[in-house]
Chain A
Amino acid sequence: MAAELYYQAIGTLQSHSHLNNFDHHQKRYNNVVTLVARDFVSSNGLSIRRSNRSGQRSCSVIRSLASQTSVVDPVLSPSRSNAGDTYKKSNEAALILIRHGESLWNEKNLFTGCVDVPLSKKGIDEAIEAGKRISSIPIDVIFTSALIRAQMTAMLAMTQHRRGKVPIIMHNESEQSRSWSQVFSEDTKKQSIPVIPSWQLNERMYGELQGLNKQETADRYGKEQVHEWRRSYDTPPPNGESLEMCAERAVAYFRDQIEPQLLSGKNVMISAHGNSLRSIIMYLDKLTSQEVISLELSTGIPMLYIFKEGRFIRRGSPVAPSEAGVYAYTRRLALYKQKLDDMFQ
């Protein structure tokens, strides 16, 4: 299996803002980390050209630092698992979606959008609770939005994870931030989970409604108009995004940056917001625009998908860490949990 993986030191990841869809997108705000594979290695014969998708991008293979962790991770290493489905051969990866909990503006009933408001006490508890539910599900890489409430949710949740790896936020805002955040120990890197913040996973931008409460908004614009913005698929509030626009950039990001990780066998966690996650679920579950409007995601309750053979299989929400629940869904997950249990005996 010895797939030879070339990796770069954490912090020297190259970032390219060549997402052609987003004209307004500027390099400095681009937290999308497009990792360029120097030596392409495939553990399961993937082709690197996906010309039917993001057309103009020539290289869409994503190499992440976690790639080497998944190979050497003793918990997932095939040599320790039973014959039959090894980690590599099953080509299966877990995808966890977590919607952050209550923020200080949720509490005050204000439209938040992309305003960077932190979690309330309740939101903090929800994040920790969510963490307990996923404490035995493997995670190799984490994607979050650029907003603190999603990042905090991910970091708080990971304090509960049993595997004990350390999430490290990737910085590539500038040359300095890249070089300053370099890690110089191999062992340490192996025990790290890269966290990639991206504005494309931000909440839907609410334009001129940001900061307003429902009353103010109804007064300013009229109730029907507000209802239309909130419930329609393609009508944006003034200077804001429609759900359609939000979906466009969120799903494009998912396909370009996250799906390749899953394809290469990485287990992914996404910590984001109501609208960006709905958009992704619309893609995963192939929902219509009508269906997605009615979709409500619970806060702080993680959702699990299994990515297998190119398809996303919804596995609901992990109930509680002690229940068999989701771990019974795939053998691999059950084995992972078993190993963690053994580690802690």
Chain B
Amino acid sequence: MMMVASIFKYQPMGLHGWGIHDAFALAPRSCTNFEMFFSMRFASCNTRHHKLHGLHASISHASVFHPTSLSLSHHLSSKKLLSTQLAILKITCIPEWCSAISGCSDFVCFIAEAESTLILIRHGESLWNEKNLFTGCCDVPLTKRGVEEAIEAGKRISYIPVDIIFTSVLIRAQMTAMLAMTQHHQKKVPIIIHNESEQATTWTQVYSEKTIEQSIPVVTAWQLNERMYGELQGLNKQETAERYGKEKVHEWRRSFDIPPPKGESLEMCSQRAVAYFKDFIEPQLKSGKHVMIAAHGNSLRSIIMYLDRLTSQEVTNLELSTGIPLLYIFKEGKFISRGSPVGPTEAGVYAYTQSLAVYRQELDENV
């Protein structure tokens, strides 16, 4: 732990609300078109826990993206040290959890869990879904029904902790996430991170620590986009069958590795989506952050293929419901599928882990 403290310096808030660091080029599988990533420096959220004052939240957040942090975690030989470190990191991120703990011993037992939640939401109906057109990466918004589905999804996850949100760059996924979060019981505010340019970075800075504590960063990434459908984009099924022949179309839709003209195969989509997940999302989970991903049928299937270790045959048959969130628990490096949260009033998923049950109770008490 002292090792941890000496490597990471606390970054004062001052003018840098949400700083932007150098391009995150750590992982060997970094995607080529990757733009600048960022390091989020949140203000200390542990004002109530003076014992932990030396290890600020900034460490836990920044460490995920700092080159040194990854090498540190790779060098950790002691499993115990790792889990304690993760636990400490988790504590500094989640003040709501801390307040439920009175005694020190309870504290230790509680944090030994080191588990985080992962929510996957596939967006609901888009205007082209309604018209039965192949959408792919065309940026088409939600229908009224899609809007309702998003709100409904939000109600189902309204008691599950969310520290950071990842979406694609397409509006239907972003809207789904933003609409869902209006239903969440905790009062943090999602804020979309902008790092397209120097100006975007400076112009979107936040200057209040307290406000930052109450924020949930939303990271947009093209790697989570829907599978790119090439020359099928905008065509309806009839047009497509006429243009290319029914069997060909069936092959593109059902195969794993055959792309439509100028498009991506499911395999290609998986490659960039899973790489992004491993490089950027998994580290968050490892550090104890609770993650929500709002994305698309194919990009989510690809991720599930990785989480559940599916074969390519299994993944081509996998159909994800729209607007119904899927829950995974990430614990000790493994992903445990927990199905779909049913309704906010049902005990259901909250019985799966003690942490979730405690979190929910906290929220109820705060209201």
Q: Which residues of A contact B (CB under 8 A)?
A: 10-11, 24-29, 104-105, 108, 110, 113-121, 124, 146-148, 151-152, 155-156, 158-160, 166-171, 173-174, 176-177, 180-185, 187-189, 195, 199, 202, 205, 208-213, 216, 239
Contacts of B210 on A, CB cut-off 8 Å? 216
**A–B pairs, 9, beta carbons within 8 Å:** A29-B200, A182-B233, A185-B133, A210-B17, A211-B17, A211-B207, A211-B211, A212-B211, A213-B208
Which of B133, B182, B199 sits near A199, CB closer than 8 Å?
B199
**Count of CB-CB pairs between chains A and B under 8 Å:** 156
Q: Are B222 and A185 interface neighbours, CB within 8 A?
A: no
Q: State whether A202 touches B234 (Cβ < 8 A).
A: no
Task: Say whether, besides A180-B137, A181-B139, A199 and B200 are in contact (CB < 8 Å).
Answer: yes
Contacts of A147 in B (CB 8 A): 192
The one of B137, B225, B234 in contact with A188, judged by C-beta atoms closer than 8 angstroms, is: B234
Q: B290 near A: Cβ within 8 Å?
A: no
Select which of B181, B203, B208, B239 is within 8 A of A185 by beta carbon: B239
Q: What is the 8 Å Cβ interface bit string for chain B, positions 68-81, against chain A (1 contact, 0 not)?
A: 00000000000000
A111 to B211, CA, bound (A): 11
B231 A148 Cβ-Cβ under 8 A? no
Q: Which residues of A contact B232 (CB under 8 A)?
A: 184
**Is B234 a contact of A148 with CB atoms below 8 Å?**
no
A173 with B196, Cβ < 8 A, contacts A184-B234, A188-B234 known: yes
- State the CA gap A205–B234 with chains docked (Å): 37
Query: B170: which A residues are within 8 A, CB to CB?
Result: 169
Name the interface residues of B181-226: CB closer than 8 Å to any CB of A: 181-182, 189-194, 196-200, 202-208, 210-212, 218, 222, 225
B171:A169 contact, CB within 8 angstroms: yes
A148 and B144 contact, CB distance less than 8 A: no
For B234, give its contact among A108, A176, A183, A239 (CB under 8 Å): A183
The listed residue with most A CB atoms (<10 A of its CB), out of B15, B17, B204, B232, is B204
Asked whether B140 is an interface residue with its Cβ less than 8 Å from the other chain, the reply is: yes
**Interface 9-residue window, one of B172-180, B307-315, B342-350:** B172-180
Inter-chain CA distance A28–B190, complex, in Å, is 24
Residues of A close to B128: CB separation below 8 A: 166
Q: Are A155 and B189 in contact (CB under 8 A)?
A: no
Rounded to whole angstroms, the CA-CA distance of A28 and B141 in the bound complex is 23
Q: Which residues of B contact A183 (CB under 8 A)?
A: 138, 233-234
Q: In the complex the two chains form, is A210's CB within 8 Å of B207's CB?
A: yes
**What is the minimal beta-carbon distance from A158 to any residue of chain B, in angstroms?**
7
B94 sits at the interface (CB 8 A): no
What chain A residues lie within 8 Å of B300 (beta carbons)?
none
* B139 nearest in chain A by CB position: A169
- Chain A to chain B: the 7 pairs with minimum beta-carbon distance, closest first: A29-B197, A183-B234, A211-B206, A169-B139, A116-B192, A188-B234, A185-B234
Q: Which residues of B in the span 234-260 have a Cβ within 8 Å of any Cβ on A?
A: 234-236, 239
Our pick among A28, A121, A159 for the contact of B142 (Cβ within 8 Å) is A159
Chain A proximity of B130: nearest CB distance (Å): 9
Known: A29-B196, A166-B131. Is A212-B208 also a contact (CB below 8 A)? yes
Give the distance to chain B from A193, nearest Cβ to Cβ, in Å: 10
- In contact, A177 and B222 (Cβ under 8 angstroms): yes
Q: Is residue B6 contacting chain A, with contact meaning CB distance below 8 A?
A: no
> When A29-B199, A210-B207 are in contact, do A177 and B169 touch as well, CB less than 8 Å?
yes
Nearest-CB residue, chain A, relative to B209: A211
Considering the chains assembled together, what is the distance between the CA atoms of A115 and B230 in angstroms? 34
Q: Closest Cβ of chain A: how far from B236's Cβ, in Å?
A: 8
Separation of A240 and B72 alpha carbons in the complex (Å) = 39
Which residues of chain A come closer than 8 Å to B192, judged between CB atoms?
116, 118, 147-148
Contact A159-B147, Cβ < 8 Å, known A174-B33, A183-B234, A210-B205: yes
A168-B182 contact, Cβ under 8 Å, with A29-B197, A188-B235, A210-B205: no
**A159 to chain B: closest residue by CB:** B144
Contacts of A195 in B (CB 8 A): 139
Q: Is B228 located at the chain interface by the 8 A CB criterion? A: yes
Q: Check A116–B231 contact: CB distance below 8 A.
A: no
Chain B residue at minimal CB-CB distance from A216:
B208
